[in-house]
Structure 1
Amino acid sequence: MEQEIISMEVVNPQAAGIDVGSRSHWVAVGQSEQDVREYGVFNQDLFAMAEWLGEKGTKTIAMESTGSYWQNLYAMLTAKGFEVILCNGKFTKNIKGKKTDVKDCQWIQKLHTLGLLTGSFLPEGKTEELRTYCRHRANLLHSAASASKKMQKYLRLLNFRLDVVVRDICGLTGLLIIRAICEGETNPQKLASLRHGNCRKSEEDIAKALQSNGRKDYLFALKQELETYDQTQEKIARCDKEIEKMLDDIINSDDNKRQHYIEAKPYKRVNKNTPKDIDLNLKAYRIFEGTDLLAIEGMSFSTVLALMSEVGIEGIRKFKTAKHFASWLRLAPNNKVSGGKVLSSKVPKGSNRLKIALRNAANAIGNLKDSTPLRDFFHRISFRKGRVSAISATARKLAVIIWNMVVKGVPYINPEGYLFLDQKRKLGLVKRIRKQIDKFGLTNEDLGLETVHV
């Protein structure tokens, strides 16, 4: 009896596989020994690799996304006209037998030839540049926060309990007092007189917390940390200017983006870590071509900036449906079914900066005092499954809303809209008065109101 052979269809006949490394790259264009070569990571080595691949008639290449070592190689091969697919390492690791670099590149080449590999999401060029600036800015913010914590530590060791009487030691009052301390001032009354008018504590309370023990070593360390904090703030300011230039380049390169205009939103609170001198409301409205993402309650300027820098408008349009977008963000349940039973429906592990930004926005929605559709949805899920599940569910709903707004042009409408603080107070007062009138059954005569007869 003849043995039946089942062969898989070759999807990419002229395919190559690359095992990316920190010191060398292994390239395979076939499954024999002469079809595998090793190249270095220097520029001339990469060009030699591209020349050899061209001689072999290679048209499409698959490589693993190993750290940041793939980026220069990916850019060079793309510039040479090759179709390059960047793959997640977990889809190429199930190789049988002993693991070697030669077997790895051959395994990647075999999978790519049979069409079993899919490419990872990559933003377009200008969005990637903007992402670099924004991620570097986030790292600078972490450095500034670290310096702030160390300043608070040395203040406490000096017996300056500024953290007890001031909400933020890096605020207006806190920095003025810290600078005076570093200049040698130790008089509690003089230090307390630097209090800003918005500070809740009185000068007497602040003076009680500023009794120094005179340790010179701690004072020296405090000065060093203040210098680090100031230098970091200067770097953040310069980074903000580069981000603004990049946003202007993206907008000015497209006439469709330039023509849009929107009024400012004074009710949107500006966080202290948000770029101060950039009108993110207008720039986001132009980059997303007339889509007002800040109309969604809970969406902050930092969330919109993360959306612009991590995916951009063209990146969102790459996803076929809102479900694909939510799944890429790892906000959708990963259902595992076997034997007709659902074994697991947990949200998969893993995170990215955009997912974190959407979860922060969802948490802000849950803290809203006014009733809105998203806030009510958050509290329904929180009542049944807890706050953590409510944050994930609301973040997923935000991702779906954003995709529909950007791709389909569906505007987000909040039935109650936004109200300024004075308007909220007025409505609250009217509601309280009506409740009192209904409670005591008061009439127009009791209230002294004259009825006009026509």
Structure 2
Amino acid sequence: MEKMHHHAAGIDIGSRKVFVGLENSPVRWFETFTSDLESLKDYLLEHKVSTVAMEATGVYWYVLYDILLDAGLDVWLVDGRQTRQLPGRKTDVKDCQWIQQLHSYGLLNRCYVSDGLVKELRSYQRLREDHLRSAAMHVQHMQKALIGMNIRLPEVLSQVHGVSGMALIRAILEGERDTEKLIALCHSKIRENKGEELRKALKGHYTPQGLFALNQALKAYQFYQEQIFECDRKIDATLQKINRDKSLPPGTGSGKRKPIRHNKPDINGLGDHLLKIFDGRDATKLPGFTDYNWLQLYAEVGSDLSKWPSEKHFTSWLGLSPGQNSSGKKNKSKSKGKPAVGQIFKQMAQGLLNSKYIGWGAFARRLRGRKGPAVAIKATARKLAAQYWRLIVKGNEFVERGMEAYQTILIQQKKKRLEKLALELDMKLVPA
């Protein structure tokens, strides 16, 4: 093999020390304080290093990556799975030398790293997702406290943390025990449809420890709701910075957008912000897309999807394409890519699986019947990701033709198979 990267360095990053390997030079290590990272940068520049490879280890690489990038070095962030096959015993010293050797021969692939305001937006969005998970945990704590007092609201209300559920919980904590007064706090439709069930559910066995646990869970849930609101303010401010000098393209405007059913961010004109960023290309025309999961995708992959040469490269990076792991007569599927980002498409595909009017929903259910829900969701998610890449990169808009058009295509395919089979058997098809 020929060397592709001359004057290359390999870096192994840890929590306390950073090891640097250069060609034909002894390994040096630096501590992880900012001043030491600056010394590491000077060391690389003194030795005329032009390109550096480092593993994406936790969050340790963030600051060093920015320092080396600002110094004008070509920094390659690589997946740690590419550098596992270290010959001999594994040490930090050998790790950095092995990374340098692999990088010099061009055997490493560069990871995608967002930059600028997109990187800032991703940080706020990921923090918001963390708060949503924590809030969901405290919703379960509220449910547990209610069940511990045999107050069966989780069995009657679809969402304990909805408007009616929160009104009931606050009233219970304030000392209200009259069932009719509690029911009066609920929405009129709940009173009409579930009034009798609510009367039974609200006759609980109240205990001091149960009320204390319910109060603690409610306060924790409200705290995370405030944190989510603060993240929304930061996301809104970042979007305004991104679109400071942009305007909506002609023919696009703030019309009626798809409703966001869960975890809707408190951001005015979210759809208009995204339309400005993507020059009027509206991803919400695709099945399953809303402004919120479009925002999630933008925070993770940015607006320039041409970094992936084709839709196959993009879906493979997302971990939605079948992997190849064959040895001899054994062929195994192998997961790869970015499952966290691919999960966004899988969530959309899960919604399509339950859709009664969209053609891709019929495709997903048909595949689920043959190969199970996991395969159906992944295949539908891949179709979504491929169509999203076509829309953003090539501008190919998607037209949803509905269930009837999909069923017509299926009938035509069945007819062709029958005609082919009849031709092989020297028979004729006669309509009934």
- TM-score, L = length of structure 1: 0.84
Which of 266, 282, 289 is equivalent to 2:272?
Answer: 282
Q: CA RMSD in A?
A: 2.1
**Is the 1:261–1:286 Cα contact (8 Å) retained in structure 2?**
no
**Is the 1:265–1:281 Cα contact (8 Å) retained in structure 2?**
no
Which of 147, 160, 177 is equivalent to 2:168?
Answer: 177
- Partner residue, 1:394: 380
Which consecutive residues of structure 2, in runs of 5 or more, have no partner in the other structure? 404-432
* d(CA) in 2 for partners of 1:106, 1:132: 32
1:300-315 alignment, distance < 5 Å: 300-314=290-304
- Partner residue, 1:329: 318
Which consecutive residues of structure 1, in runs of 5 or more, have no partner in the other structure? 1-7, 418-454
- Partner residue, 1:445: none
- Partner residue, 2:42: 51
Which of 394, 406, 409 is equivalent to 2:395?
Answer: 409
AA in 2 matched with 1:218: G
**Is the 2:316–2:337 Cα contact (8 Å) retained in structure 1?**
no
* d(CA) in 2 for partners of 1:401, 1:151: 41
- Partner residue, 1:425: none
SS of the counterpart of 1:358?
helix
Which of 117, 121, 124 is equivalent to 1:126?
Answer: 117
AA in 1 matched with 2:153: L
- Partner residue, 2:429: none
Moved more, 343-352 or 83-92: 343-352
1:91-106 alignment, distance < 5 Å: 91-106=82-97
- Partner residue, 1:443: none
Residue 212 of structure 1: how far off its partner (Å):
3.5
Aligned pairs, how many?
A: 402
Residue 395 of structure 1: how far off its partner (Å):
0.7
- Partner residue, 2:204: 212
- Partner residue, 2:288: 298
* d(CA) in 1 for partners of 2:52, 2:39: 15
* d(CA) in 1 for partners of 2:40, 2:354: 55
**Is the 2:317–2:337 Cα contact (8 Å) retained in structure 1?**
no
* d(CA) in 1 for partners of 2:346, 2:142: 30
Which of 347, 356, 378 is equivalent to 2:364?
Answer: 378
1:31-180 alignment, distance < 5 Å: 31-33=24-26, 36-180=27-171
- Residue 229 of structure 2 corresponds to residue 237 of structure 1: yes
SS of the counterpart of 1:252?
coil
Which of 21, 25, 39 is equivalent to 2:18?
Answer: 25
* d(CA) in 2 for partners of 1:40, 1:278: 45
Residue 58 of structure 1: how far off its partner (Å):
0.7
1:260–1:100 CA distance, 2 compared to 1 (3 A): farther
Residue 111 of structure 1: how far off its partner (Å):
1.5
Cα shift readout 1:329-351 (whole Å, capped 9, x = no counterpart): 01111134567x7x436251565
1:225–1:376 CA distance, 2 compared to 1 (3 A): closer
Moved more, 11-20 or 189-198: 189-198
AA in 2 matched with 1:369: K
Cα shift readout 1:141-161 (whole Å, capped 9, x = no counterpart): 111111111111111222222
Which of 345, 348, 356 is equivalent to 1:361?
Answer: 348
Residue 270 of structure 1: how far off its partner (Å):
1.9
* d(CA) in 2 for partners of 1:122, 1:349: 18
* d(CA) in 2 for partners of 1:257, 1:31: 56
* d(CA) in 2 for partners of 1:89, 1:346: 20
What fraction of aligned residue pairs are identical, expressed as a percent?
38
Residue 131 of structure 1: how far off its partner (Å):
1.0
- Residue 181 of structure 2 corresponds to residue 190 of structure 1: yes
Q: From the CA coordinates, give the structure whose radius of gyration is larger.
A: 1
SS of the counterpart of 2:241?
helix
- Partner residue, 2:411: none
Cα shift readout 1:6-62 (whole Å, capped 9, x = no counterpart): xx31222211111111100001112443xx111000011011111111111111111
1:277–1:10 CA distance, 2 compared to 1 (3 A): closer
- Residue 307 of structure 2 corresponds to residue 318 of structure 1: yes
**Is the 1:77–1:84 Cα contact (8 Å) retained in structure 2?**
yes
**Is the 2:12–2:95 Cα contact (8 Å) retained in structure 1?**
yes
- Partner residue, 1:272: 262
